[in-house]
Amino acid sequence: MHDYNNYNLEEYLDGVKTIGMCGHIRPDGDCVGSCIGLYGYLKHHYSQIDVDLYLEPIPEEFRFLKYTDEIKNDAGNEKEYDLFIALDASDEERLGDFLPHFKNAKKTLCIDHHISNHSYADDNIVFPNASSTCEVLYTIIDEEKIDYDIACALYLGIIHDSGVFKYSNTSELTMKIAGRLMSKGIPFTEIIDRTFYEKTYIQNQILGRALLESVMFYDGKCVFSVVRKEEFEFYNINASDLDGIVEQLRLTKGVECAIFLYETGELEYKVSLRSKNVLNVSEIATYFGGGGHVRAAGCNMKGTVYDVINNISERIALQLD
């Protein structure tokens, strides 16, 4: 079933006594799923190895996963791990506070699926065609050793990064793996509803507002919306409450590219880009110092909203015209 790689995690664990691991800053479903999946796998089947998992605080809805209360939110003292594993992080900077542990380690391994990943670790298992890091992880571990808890974590990551199996990164293999994970008896309906679709009342309100104030441009081929600092304060929300807005914008009929910005500082924005069929948004995000996937990418940009949209539009025009 592992038709795209021959890697085996086992090979990297030879003689290893201590492992540190982490995902990227602002952990999402695939980041948490892959980290918890691998952590559980190592804890369960390699009990002779000391493993520390570092992550920034994770969204509440992922806390049902086993082992989430063992996550270390603080980098703590300097340590020298035999092996440090970075998951779902396209570059070193995305390791945030935990980068020193990565740099200090005797050996490093990166497991990822971002097309913009430039192989920054000693060993890199990076498959841009995989739906998710969880999918890549599944293919390098021993299928029989995946228990219920690990299956829940991997399934969660796959559904989040594939948009519940609808994004173009979803393959036959993705579905086969999901099927195998389902065979472990996981509550898949609940995982999808509770972690992917469910929104709080406030999240629905901010989504509604972002849609109401969205602006179409480029003959209706593009749409953008923005959430400003004042709105963060007014609704008492944080960035994770904005998940799903850009996807709803992308679904607008006739739109090829959706752009969603939220203000992170004075004239500073976090930019999310989504495309439907032709536009390579990873190329655009990378141009502005970010990264991501062909149909979903992001970057940070400075200037007025007008400047930001203008600059992005120029890059879009280069591809579409």
The site for Mn ion (CB under 5 A) is made up of 30, 88, 132-133, 161
Place of tokens 């493993």: 51
User: Cβ closer to Mn ion: 161 or 241?
Assistant: 161
Report yes or no: 92 and 116 within 8 Å, Cβ to Cβ. Answer: no
Write out the DSSP string of 196-223: II---HHHHHHHHHHHHT-EEETTTTEE
CB of residue 132 vs Mn ion: minimum separation in angstroms?
5
User: Cβ closer to Mn ion: 158 or 309?
Assistant: 158
CB of residue 119 vs Mn ion: minimum separation in angstroms?
16
User: Cβ closer to Mn ion: 132 or 275?
Assistant: 132
User: Cβ closer to Mn ion: 133 or 195?
Assistant: 133
Cα torsion through 62, 77, 25, 195, rounded to 10: 0
User: Cβ closer to Mn ion: 133 or 214?
Assistant: 133
Sheet holding 291-292, edge to edge: 215-217, 222-227, 257-265, 268-275, 296-302, 291-292
CB of residue 275 vs Mn ion: minimum separation in angstroms?
17
Spatial distance between the Cα atoms of 288 and 280, rounded to a whole number of angstroms: 14
User: Cβ closer to Mn ion: 270 or 315?
Assistant: 270
CB of residue 113 vs Mn ion: minimum separation in angstroms?
6
Task: Find the radius of gyration of the CA atoms of the chain.
Answer: 20
Cα 18 to its chain centre, rounded Å, is: 26
User: Cβ closer to Mn ion: 132 or 214?
Assistant: 132
Give the residue closest to Mn ion by C-beta.
30
Residue ranges in the chain assigned as alpha helix (H): 29-45, 99-104, 133-140, 148-161, 172-182, 188-192, 201-212, 229-235, 245-250, 281-287, 305-320
CB of residue 225 vs Mn ion: minimum separation in angstroms?
24
Which tokens sit at 278?
């032709």
CB of residue 298 vs Mn ion: minimum separation in angstroms?
12
CB of residue 145 vs Mn ion: minimum separation in angstroms?
22
